[in-house]
Chains A and B, each alone.
Chain A
Amino acid sequence: MNKIEVNNLTKIFGSHPQQGLKRLKNGEQKSEILEKTGMTVGVNQASFAVKPGEIFVIMGLSGSGKSTLIRLVNRLIEPTDGEVFIDGEDITKMDKNTLIDTRRKKLGMVFQKFGLLPHKTILANVAYGLELQGVSKQEREQKAQETIKDVGLSGYEDSYPSQLSGGMQQRVGIARALANDTDILLMDEAFSALDPIIRKEMQDELLKIQNKLGKTVLFITHDLDEALKLGDRIAIMKDGRIVQIGTSEEILENPANDYVSNFVKDVDRSKVLEASHVMKKPEVLLTYKDGPRVAVRKMEEAGVSSIFVTDKEKNFKGLITIDDAVKAYQNNIPMEEVLITDNIYSTSPATPLNDLIGIAADVKYPIVVVEDEKLLGIVSRVSILSGLVLGKEKDEVEST
């Protein structure tokens, strides 16, 4: 069964939402309705389903209705029309008490501006959900303590939110959602207010948490990189409507329309990746002087089947495969003779990833990144996976 299932969900802000709904169903656009009636379409007949343990990302530009949609899921906003099933039960039809109970037991939420209670300590903030349920002080504080430890904030229990940095406050926000032990986490631009490094850290943290606890996450962002990194599937919204749902690859390779492809392109263009951004330090470097025996041992240690060779000054010389090294060792052939120097593609650190994609697919060995003949790193096919999509996108744009 789907953890969350949304059917034809619509929200119209304004004085006569039912009348607006009729217009929507007649196919009128958000802009037409705004012009004719002054009412704003927040969400327009959205449908999607989130499977247990899935991270489902909703992405869209500002004003596309993301916040409205996620607030319809836990009914912080009353829908105009449609259904929202949480574990098979329609939240839009629940009476007050059932709704409150569902929020307590099934739905945790993390907010963009954290939404912490400024008059309560970190401990009390994290324990807040349990406090609402009437859990005893001792029990809820113990649980809160554990969760605070899980998010790495031990020692800050008695601080107040205003005393913490943004990243730390959001950890509190996450801890508060985790303390309730709900299966579902709703996250509205949870990391958008954080600076890039902290943001990355929090994304990794979320993936870890999700891995460990198997939460079902509905995650909102307007950042493509974040969506690609976190999302098992991504839904793209425009003017309140979901225009495409799919895995990252599906969306990037087959954008449903110009809006999506523009979205994808714009976000990527702002972050052109270069070889130096994705290159890795080669597993093992072998100075030119080392014999085949050392080469074999080092490859064995590193668990690789080929090794890059440089001289003392790190000048790139070539590559030796394990087979060749073994052969050289057995037959006492000097290293120079088994050194592979052709068929190795080398590039400069500033080369755009786009230029490397076609090459990466064809070459046998990882691309080496060199500057002034010195080996800086290697770029493997795996490490340009995200850039691969970028390249295809760009090819299409160029060919049209």
Chain B
Amino acid sequence: MNYFYFPLEEWTNDFVNDWLLPVMGGFFDSISVPLRSFIDGVTNLILAIPPEIIAVLLILLAWKLAGKGTALFTLIGCLYIGSVDLWAETMQTVAIVIVSTIIAIIFGVPVGILSAKSNVIDKIVRPILDFMQTLPIFVYLIPSILLFGLGGVPAVIATFVFAAPPAVRMTRLGILQVPQEVVEASKAFGSTSKQLLFKVQLPLAVPTIMAGINQTIMLALSMAVVASMIGAPGLGSIVLSGISTVNVGLGLIGGLAIVVIAIILDRITQGIGNKL
């Protein structure tokens, strides 16, 4: 089938080495510096709070939003994480999840709104989202190290790429799901498009958007191990060192902690969606 040679490989390498790194390096620094301090800020903040307070807050939240069972599970889960001495690592992972999710929301919700309002934008956005979700992670993981260095920043970027699409898709879906007559009624009484968006479409889309954010959080957590491969601290690195030293026990306690956190965050964010 090779009728001609398509030098995509060489072009890409030339592009990265001759232009992206030397010319755009400053630009990427300007992203990575504030992002790094954002991640550090969040990490330091939640590490500065005594674990007991965080645990109590989580349990109360779980109770309010998801019921007694989840509250009990949260209590046991927090005790487990403390007792296997993984609290700090857990908080580091949670920090990366929080930062990636916030960025995913900041980017995903507006893009979702735009693609709900315009078919053209939707046609452009949709393949990009497919690309983001299906491109093997390692393909962009390595370049993101080149561009952003090791540590939390490329981890957040890679996590964002993988986890943002549900936020976009579900925002769009949530807005399009608003019954036609409700939208018409609002217009018929003289709403501007801004009023329509903020008084009708977004409030009614919130449960769906929350479901999207819930998925974003789950996907972000599932990236924890991958993120640790590029130097992000946290539970992923525990699992990774468990695997690489054939320390099955270490791998298990780290892995279980990820599952515990995943379940707690899932139930709480679902609870928010249902309450709204």
Known: A71-B184, A115-B179, A132-B195. A109 touches B204 (CB 8 A): no
A115–B182 touching, CB < 8 Å: yes
Interface 9-mer from A22-30, A85-93, A99-107, A288-296: A99-107
A113–B189 touching, CB < 8 Å: no
Name A99's closest neighbour in chain B (CB-CB).
B190
Give the contacts of B175-230 with A (CB-CB under 8 A): 179, 181-182, 184-192, 195, 199-200, 203-204
A100–B200 touching, CB < 8 Å: no
Known: A117-B200, A118-B204, A119-B203. A132 touches B189 (CB 8 A): yes
Known: A115-B179, A119-B203, A119-B204. A132 touches B184 (CB 8 A): no
Give chain B residues whose Cβ lies under 8 Å from the Cβ of A171. Answer: none
Is A74 on the interface with B (CB-CB < 8 A)? Answer: yes
Is A345 on the interface with B (CB-CB < 8 A)? Answer: no
Give chain B residues whose Cβ lies under 8 Å from the Cβ of A112. Answer: 181
Shortest C-beta distance, B9 to chain A (Å), equals 42
Counting chain A CB atoms within 10 Å of each CB, the highest count among B190, B192, B195, B203 belongs to: B190
A117–B186 touching, CB < 8 Å: yes
Give the contacts of A318-377 with B (CB-CB under 8 A): none
B189–A180 touching, CB < 8 Å: yes
CA distance A179 to B185 in the complex (A): 14
- Give the contact-size bracket for chain B: 10 to 19
CA distance A287 to B261 in the complex (A): 89
Give chain B residues whose Cβ lies under 8 Å from the Cβ of A76. Answer: 184, 187-188
Is A176 on the interface with B (CB-CB < 8 A)? Answer: yes
A100–B182 touching, CB < 8 Å: no
Is A7 on the interface with B (CB-CB < 8 A)? Answer: no
Give chain A residues whose Cβ lies under 8 Å from the Cβ of B195. Answer: 132
Give chain B residues whose Cβ lies under 8 Å from the Cβ of A105. Answer: 190
CA distance A2 to B156 in the complex (A): 64
- Of B184, B190, B199, B204, the residue contacting A111 (CB under 8 A) is B184
Name A128's closest neighbour in chain B (CB-CB).
B189
A107–B188 touching, CB < 8 Å: yes
0/1 per residue, A114-144, Cβ < 8 Å to B?
1111110000000011011100000000000
Give chain A residues whose Cβ lies under 8 Å from the Cβ of B184. Answer: 71, 76, 109, 111, 115
A176–B189 touching, CB < 8 Å: yes
B189–A117 touching, CB < 8 Å: no
- Of A100, A114, A117, the residue contacting B190 (CB under 8 A) is A100
A109–B190 touching, CB < 8 Å: no
Known: A111-B181, A111-B184, A113-B181. A101 touches B204 (CB 8 A): no
A111–B185 touching, CB < 8 Å: yes
Give chain A residues whose Cβ lies under 8 Å from the Cβ of B190. Answer: 100-105, 129, 132-133
CA distance A101 to B190 in the complex (A): 7
Give the contacts of A147-205 with B (CB-CB under 8 A): 176, 180, 186
Shortest C-beta distance, B246 to chain A (Å), equals 55
Give chain A residues whose Cβ lies under 8 Å from the Cβ of B199. Answer: 117, 131-132
Give the contacts of B145-201 with A (CB-CB under 8 A): 179, 181-182, 184-192, 195, 199-200
Name A106's closest neighbour in chain B (CB-CB).
B190
Give chain A residues whose Cβ lies under 8 Å from the Cβ of B182. Answer: 115-118
Shortest C-beta distance, B275 to chain A (Å), equals 13
Counting chain B CB atoms within 10 Å of each CB, the highest count among A71, A105, A118, A180 belongs to: A118
Shortest C-beta distance, B177 to chain A (Å), equals 12
A103–B187 touching, CB < 8 Å: yes
Shortest C-beta distance, B207 to chain A (Å), equals 10
Give chain B residues whose Cβ lies under 8 Å from the Cβ of A115. Answer: 179, 181-182, 184-185
CA distance A119 to B205 in the complex (A): 11
Give chain B residues whose Cβ lies under 8 Å from the Cβ of A103. Answer: 187-190
A132–B191 touching, CB < 8 Å: yes
Give chain B residues whose Cβ lies under 8 Å from the Cβ of A132. Answer: 186, 189-192, 195, 199
Give chain B residues whose Cβ lies under 8 Å from the Cβ of A128. Answer: 186, 189
Give chain A residues whose Cβ lies under 8 Å from the Cβ of B185. Answer: 109, 111, 115-117, 176
Name A112's closest neighbour in chain B (CB-CB).
B181
Could you give 13 example pairs across A and B, Cβ below 8 Å?
A: A103-B187, A105-B190, A108-B189, A111-B184, A115-B182, A115-B185, A119-B203, A119-B204, A129-B189, A132-B190, A132-B192, A133-B190, A176-B185
Q: Which 4 A-B pairs have the closest CB atoms?
A: A104-B190, A115-B185, A115-B181, A103-B190
Given A100-B190, A109-B188, 16 further pairs, Cβ under 8 A: A71-B184, A74-B188, A101-B190, A103-B188, A104-B189, A109-B184, A109-B185, A109-B189, A111-B181, A111-B185, A112-B181, A117-B199, A118-B182, A129-B189, A129-B190, A180-B189
